[in-house]
Amino acid sequence: MFKKNFVWGVATASYQIEGGAHTADKGLNVWDVGSATPGRIFEGQRGDVACDHYHLFKEDVRLMKEFKIGGYRFSVNWARLLPDGTGKISEDGKRFYLELLAELKKAGIQPWVTLFHWDYPYALYQKGGWLNPDSPKWFEEYAAVCAELFKDDVTHFILINEPQCFLGLGHSTGEHAPFLKLPDSEVMRAAHNTLLGCGLAEKRIRKICGDRVKIGTAQAYWPALPVTEADVELAREETFACHKNFGSVNYYTDPLLFGKYPDDVLAWQRECGFTFPESDMQIIKSKLDFYGLNTYSGDRVTKKDGKTVHPKPAPTVPRTDMRWTVDPDALYYGPKFIWERYALPIVYTENGVALAEWKDLNGQINDDSRIDFLKRYLRALSRAADEVEIDGYFYWSLIDNFEWAEGFSKKFGLIHVDYETQERTPKKSAYFYKRVIETNGEEIWK
């Protein structure tokens, strides 16, 4: 069962929906610039206009109100607010976010603001980005500007979104902006600076906002899941093991919450020759009020002949348009593993499904598979909520949008967007989600 004041929300991110890439004095970011190189993004698509939320935000808030959305998670485009990344504040950037917040207030929707959802200011990238030793301070300054400007309206700040992706995909494999393929020791440096930035930002925001806001993080979390009940312990171990990549959650949240990297991460850092002063860990260690999880699926694990194996899913296992398996257990075991390790209230800051879909001849989107997905995942989450503290769920995403390297080809929205006319059309699942919200989850059992 979901608790009484459970937050039912939707999520978006600035580069994926805003557009308005060249308005007023907005600075460019690494996605604005990096997406121009051919071959990086599906069919050369870019987020210059995207869903034109920059101009249509009032309509989007009106739709959220109509569908009874209780919380809206969105991100601030750092270079829209601070064109150079630090220093001068853009009047237009300030106006845009203050108007959006005022609109949300009128609609009675809680604003959950992500400070950094991957659109890093290009001006700072040219100075080395997250590799520059000053980068933690730049992030602190930006966080302080947001806290000062938005403190009367924002209820929750999320410091960063999915370090696993902007570091792993952005700095290691080169699939996302800034499209770098750095040696592991350099990615470790960028990760460490990101964590220092989070530690500094958390302390500054608290100083400015006091108890008025809650602060958390949003992690890309793809838990290992047991094949049989006998594999639960193994799944927990695998979830938190260092696989010598930047994909685990504890690489980041052990330092943030315990002030210490996991031992196997430390060993990998030593192997790569990455070092840092021990005193950094006190800066990184933070007090977080909630643990945000972005989960879409999981990875099954078991033992075979004494060895840990990740069996390939059978061809019958359903897959989304991202080719991710439909595996609702991720929302049952996943939160339990996090709760046991960190004992922080959990919020699903993202979960959702991309489907190959289009408007039918009657102009409707009958996305029954999305409704089925929601029922399956929310039933699992409801079981978890009987055992651990879960405070909210944000569906990804409010509207179809720019899915990074996949361009506009993947559709996650509850609301369809016609990218030619910018017309919004709620899908059948939007009406379902509205009933879920109105019944505080009861609708999922029907």
Site for ligand NOJ in 288-307 (CB under 6 A): 294
Least Å from the CB of residue 162 to ligand NOJ? 5
CB of 60 to ligand NOJ, least distance (A): 16
According to the binding rule CB under 6 A, does residue 30 interact with ligand NOJ?
Answer: no
161 near ligand NOJ, rule: CB under 6 A: yes
Query: Minimum distance between the CB of residue 247 and ligand NOJ, rounded to whole angstroms?
Result: 13
Nearer to ligand NOJ, 117 or 434 (CB): 117
SS3 assignment for the chain = CCCCCCEEEEECCHHHHCCCCCCCCCCCEHHHHHCCCCCCCHHHCCCCCCCCHHHHHHHHHHHHHHCCCCEEEEECCHHHHCCCCCCCCCHHHHHHHHHHHHHHHHHCCEEEEEEECCCCEHHHHCCCHHHCCCHHHHHHHHHHHHHHHHCCCCCEEEEEECHHHHHHHHHHCCCCCCCCCCCHHHHHHHHHHHHHHHHHHHHHHHHHHHHHCEEEEEEECCCEEECCHHHHHHHHHHHCCCCCCCCCCHHHHHHHHHCCCCHHHHHHHHHCCCCCCCCHHHHHCCCCCEEEEECCCCEEEEEECCEEECCCCCCCCCECCCCCECCCCHHHHHHHHHHHHHCCCEEEEEECCCCCCCCCCCCCCCCHHHHHHHHHHHHHHHHHHCCCCEEEEEEECCECCCCHHHHHHCCCCCEEECCCCCCEEECHHHHHHHHHHHCCCHHHHC
By C-beta, is 13 or 64 nearer to ligand NOJ?
13
Using the rule CB under 6 A, which residue among 138, 337, 396, 433 binds ligand NOJ?
396
Q: How far is the CB of 16 from ligand NOJ (least distance, A)?
A: 6
| 18 belongs to the binding site for ligand NOJ (CB under 6 A) | no
How far apart are CB 446 and ligand NOJ at their closest, in Å? 27
> Would you please indicate which residues are annotated as catalytic (active-site) residues?
162, 350
Q: Does 164 bind ligand NOJ (CB under 6 A)?
A: no
Q: CB-wise, 208 or 430, nearer to ligand NOJ? A: 430
290-294 vs 346-351, strand pairing mode: parallel
Which residue from 119, 162, 202, 327 is in contact with ligand NOJ, where contact means CB under 6 A? 162
Q: Report the C-alpha gap between 269 and 226 in whole angstroms.
A: 29
Q: How far apart are CA 183 and CA 232, in angstroms?
A: 34
Sign of CA dihedral 217, 218, 224, 229: positive
Of 254 and 403, which has the nearer Cβ to ligand NOJ? 403
User: Count residues contacting ligand NOJ (CB under 6 A)?
Assistant: 8
Query: Closest approach of Cβ 166 to ligand NOJ, in Å?
Result: 9
CB nearer to ligand NOJ: give 162 or 357.
162
Which residues within the stretch 90-119 sit at the binding site for ligand NOJ (CB under 6 A)?
none
- Please tell me the distance from the alpha carbon of residue 206 to that of residue 209, in angstroms, as a whole number: 5
**Which residue number, 60 or 162, has a Cβ lying nearer to ligand NOJ?**
162
Shortest CB 403 distance to ligand NOJ, Å: 5
| Nearer to ligand NOJ among residue 57 and residue 221 (C-beta) | 221
Identify which of residues 122 and 396 has a Cβ nearer to ligand NOJ in the complex.
396
At its nearest, how many Å lie between ligand NOJ and the CB of residue 318? 17
- Residue list 331-360, contact with ligand NOJ (CB under 6 A): 350
Single residue of 184, 329, 400, 403 touching ligand NOJ by CB under 6 A: 403
Residues that bind ligand NOJ (CB under 6 A): 13, 16, 161-162, 294, 350, 396, 403
